[in-house]
Amino acid sequence: MNQLDMMLQKADEQQADLISIAKTLISFPTPAPPARNTKSAQKWVAGFLKEMGCSVDIWDVYPEDPNVVGVLKGTDSEHYQSLILNGHIDVAEVNGEDWDFDPFQPLIKDGMLIGRGASDMKGGLACVLFCLKLIHEAGLQLPGDLIVQSVIGEEVGEAGTLECCKRGYHADFAVVADTSSLHIQGQGGVITGWIEIKSAKTFHDGMRRNMIHAGGGTFGASAIEKMAKIISALGELERHWSVMKSYPGFAPGTNTINPAVIEGGRHAAFVADECRLWITVHFYPNETHEQVVAEIEDYVNRISDSDVWLRENRPVFKWGGSSMIEDRGEIFPALEIDPDHPAVSVLAASHRDVKEEEPVTDVSQTVTDGGWLYDAGIPSVIYGPGDLKNAHSVNEEVSVEELIDYTKIMLRFIITWCSRKKDCPA
What's the pTM? 0.94
Could you please state the CATH topology (level 3) that the domain comprising 189-319 is classified under: Alpha-Beta Plaits (3.30.70)
Query: Hey, which residues are catalytic here?
Result: 90, 154
Q: Where in the chain is the domain with CATH 3.40.630.10?
A: 3-187+335-417
Residue 96 or residue 104, greater confidence: 104
CATH 3.30.70.360: which residues of the chain? Answer: 189-319
Q: What is the pLDDT of residues 233-264, one digit of tens each?
A: 999 999 999 999 999 999 999 999 999 999 99
What band does 426 get if pLDDT is binned at 50, 70 and 90?
A: low
Confidence category of residue 277, pLDDT binned at 50, 70, 90? very high
- In this prediction, residue 303 carries a pLDDT of 97
Q: Is the pLDDT of residue 9 over 70?
A: yes
Q: What is the pLDDT of residue 96?
A: 83
> Is the pLDDT score of 1 beyond 70?
no
Predicted confidence (pLDDT) per residue in 139-166, tens digit: 999 999 999 999 999 999 998 999 999 9
For domain 3-187+335-417, the CATH class is alpha beta
Cα separations in angstroms, 178 against 6, 37, 89 = 27, 20, 11
Per-residue pLDDT tens over the stretch 175-203: 999 999 999 999 999 999 999 999 999 99
